[in-house]
Structure 1
């Protein structure tokens, strides 16, 4: 099924900018046209007033000519007290009254739109004035063009033309600016599309014109750095795992082939024990690899409020150790943890300490602020400061523990640190007067609600 083609960000933003520009221009254009219409209406009223000022003195003082100058208005007509045309502008000479309405008793002026008036064409605005004379009320009709709300056609053309220019300019500017702005994104996308597992050392270009794109490129490069490091670690881990698995397999194969070649001279019980030892090592390595895979996959932990002091006491009492165990435990120290996983950390640290201790192992648990601290220390040769982080690498054995009998699978401390990270804690090697001191720090848990519900 073909996916629907999505519009590009540049096109959508350009269309949106054009739509906003159109809306703004329409709104501003309407205001301009309203202002122009009001201005034209005001100008027409001024012309009507000027015509009134010119004709009324002629009516009152005389003599009133039969043909009046039109001035700035469209037409003028004067009716005497008996309703006869006394004077008019040239276009109304010899024509009947253009209108019959007059102002009411409370006003001297009335304005109406007449379509069409007598003697004229189209719709016009007719203003009727009452002029009081001794023989009666005379009527003065002044005709002006009807002014629409938008003013004149010239105003409409001016507004429409200016709006088109503004919309086109804003749309073109938006398209150009977005094209320029999206160029770094396209460059980043193009570079990412070409990066494969074989060339993880490549990096995307970092633009300098926009801070947001600069941060995006730097974040992508940081991610690529982590990906390259993870790929390198995975490669080393795979190679080390292959080597660690191949060594016992090679040893077991050699024992079995020798037994098959010389069945009469083979000490079968001894050979069987050697093969079983290799199987045990394979089983331990496979189990540790599976544990690391689950920890790397961030599988969920079954956390429960746990007294770490009680957990340590139970574990120390369950096993027998070849070295003396010195306990230095607080009365209680609660953490919220996966008990099996934390027990695994303790066992790994104890196994490591037992392999390297001269005669004594010290286990202590205490609280410190918002943390619970567990320490496992031995009185062995210790770990140099420059190699304290190295011991947590997978399949790492220091020179003093190169032999397989003392070194185990080389995954115990790596597993312990991953479990600590999964609990939002830390596992480090700290300074010690003698031997190695491993420190596990976990977030403390408020045991009071737990104690009330228990």
Structure 2
């Protein structure tokens, strides 16, 4: 047995395609719109039809009035049905019926109103129960002078019901339904044509795999919302392809950098095991500890990058950059001379630990490349807190200033100065800057490398 429930209808409706739902919505809106239009037009048509009947009735009354004035009272003939008007009465000045149509023969006057003033016409409504099947009548009267005395000629016609005619509702429905069907058909064809690009985008996306990210969805011929969708999808695919390529490169570089210390430690152990009696196990252990430290640093940096990329939220607290720099410089071991130019009152919102890690990475980088001195500056510029770390080393070529922020990127000078670096410090520093809504760039300088961090100030 088939059962019906609102919940089942909702589930079925939700399973419909967009094209079907749009067509159904168009059909329902068309039915409602055309139906409302028909209802709004009904009073207008009722008024027009009533006016037509009134004038038709007036024409019949006017002709009877002419005949009454022309013929003497003694020669008055029975009133015949004229122009569909079969309710007519001729009443003299004493209220007696002198003539009447067959349906009103023997009936008293249905109206006693008279045309006043110089106007010979009377328009009114008469309600009576003397005419079977009729409650109220449109009444038109004309004054006629018979023998110098005023008579009234009344013509009546039944008032129209609000629906005008029994044929009007079905005729309206027969007119609304085809129009609604045509509207639904047009909506179906329009939706199918409009959704064709969506199907093309879906099919293309279904065929794109992780090994074939170079494909793009087709753009539309018209610059509309669907074309904007295709453009956005292609931009997303561009970013995805770039991210996947970066991830592959990152995995390759990470495996290479992790394999190097492991290979070195394995070689050291195998070499010592070939001649265990002659091996310097203390030196072998020291070198293995250095390799393990390098592995530990790489793993720690990878974990930090993974947390930053995953959007792991840090603490949000006011951080005074001048105080942060002072504390970091106090903790650092003695090395190259550091000159601090710190402006007090430069406060940002962020994670003090992560910002300390950023500063430490910049100072470590400057320590490796500076000849004699490092300059750290804290200031403000256009609503931004500015932290600069400048060394007096050889500097970085303009075409390599973005490359140093890529993971595991180590320039030749960096490898010569510190073979144990991970190549992740500057990448981590930039990720921390971006996580704080800021930027980390290398700006031109007369000498050395000038790293500039900009973070929004706390709005007062």
- 2:356 corresponds to 1:350: no
- 2:404 corresponds to 1:391: yes
RMSD: 3.3
In structure 2, what is the equivalent of residue 228 of structure 1?
Answer: 241
2: CA distance, partners of 1:439 / 1:57: 108
Aligned pair in 2 of structure 1 residues 76, 364: CA closer, same or farther (>3 Å)?
closer
Which of 264, 268, 276 does residue 263 from structure 1 map onto? 276
- 2:53 corresponds to 1:49: no
Aligned pair in 2 of structure 1 residues 37, 349: CA closer, same or farther (>3 Å)?
closer
Aligned pair in 2 of structure 1 residues 393, 87: CA closer, same or farther (>3 Å)?
same
Check the 8 A contact 1:79/1:86 in 2, yes or no. Answer: yes
2: CA distance, partners of 1:356 / 1:126: 108
2: CA distance, partners of 1:311 / 1:36: 84
- 2:44 corresponds to 1:35: yes
1: CA distance, partners of 2:169 / 2:193: 36
In structure 2, what is the equivalent of residue 13 of structure 1?
Answer: 22
- 2:88 corresponds to 1:76: yes
Check the 8 A contact 2:89/2:100 in 1, yes or no. Answer: yes
Aligned pair in 2 of structure 1 residues 362, 137: CA closer, same or farther (>3 Å)?
closer
Aligned pair in 2 of structure 1 residues 424, 88: CA closer, same or farther (>3 Å)?
closer
1: CA distance, partners of 2:256 / 2:164: 92
In structure 2, what is the equivalent of residue 414 of structure 1?
Answer: 427
In structure 1, what is the equivalent of residue 457 of structure 2?
Answer: 444
2: CA distance, partners of 1:352 / 1:82: 125
Displacement of 1:388 after TM fit?
0.8
2: CA distance, partners of 1:365 / 1:181: 57
Check the 8 A contact 1:353/1:376 in 2, yes or no. Answer: yes
Residues 86-129 of structure 1 deviation map (CA, whole Å, 9 limit, x = unaligned): 5445x55xx85145644269988875456673xxx643848596
- TM-score norm. by structure 1 comes to 0.85
1: CA distance, partners of 2:105 / 2:446: 127
- Pairing of 1:195-274 with structure 2 (within 5 A): 195-274=208-287
Residues 306-335 of structure 1 deviation map (CA, whole Å, 9 limit, x = unaligned): 222222122222222332223333345322
Check the 8 A contact 2:393/2:448 in 1, yes or no. Answer: yes
- 2:190 corresponds to 1:177: yes
Displacement of 1:195 after TM fit?
1.8
Displacement of 1:167 after TM fit?
1.9
1: CA distance, partners of 2:57 / 2:405: 100
In structure 2, what is the equivalent of residue 452 of structure 1?
Answer: none
Displacement of 1:85 after TM fit?
6.8
In structure 2, what is the equivalent of residue 372 of structure 1?
Answer: 385
* Helix, strand or coil at the partner of 1:402: helix
2: CA distance, partners of 1:184 / 1:25: 32
Aligned pair in 2 of structure 1 residues 300, 131: CA closer, same or farther (>3 Å)?
same
Aligned pair in 2 of structure 1 residues 234, 52: CA closer, same or farther (>3 Å)?
same
Check the 8 A contact 1:22/1:163 in 2, yes or no. Answer: yes
In structure 2, what is the equivalent of residue 329 of structure 1?
Answer: 342
2: CA distance, partners of 1:282 / 1:361: 29
Query: After alignment, is 413-422 or 189-198 more displaced?
Result: 189-198
Query: After alignment, is 271-280 or 3-12 more displaced?
Result: 3-12
Displacement of 1:376 after TM fit?
1.8
Residues 345-376 of structure 1 deviation map (CA, whole Å, 9 limit, x = unaligned): 12111111122222222222222232222222
- Pairing of 1:72-111 with structure 2 (within 5 A): 72=83, 73-78=85-90, 86-89=98-101, 91=102, 96-99=105-108, 101-103=110-112, 111=125
Which of 268, 281, 286 does residue 294 from structure 2 map onto? 281
Aligned pair in 2 of structure 1 residues 64, 126: CA closer, same or farther (>3 Å)?
farther
- TM-score norm. by structure 2 comes to 0.84
Displacement of 1:71 after TM fit?
1.7
1: CA distance, partners of 2:42 / 2:370: 95
Query: After alignment, is 416-425 or 105-114 more displaced?
Result: 105-114
2: CA distance, partners of 1:373 / 1:96: 109
Displacement of 1:134 after TM fit?
8.0
Q: For this pair of structures, how many residues does the alignment match?
A: 440
1: CA distance, partners of 2:21 / 2:41: 30
Aligned pair in 2 of structure 1 residues 46, 371: CA closer, same or farther (>3 Å)?
closer
In structure 1, what is the equivalent of residue 5 of structure 2?
Answer: none
Which of 63, 75, 80 does residue 64 from structure 1 map onto? 75
Aligned pair in 2 of structure 1 residues 235, 34: CA closer, same or farther (>3 Å)?
same
1: CA distance, partners of 2:376 / 2:95: 126
2: CA distance, partners of 1:131 / 1:334: 104
2: CA distance, partners of 1:231 / 1:27: 57
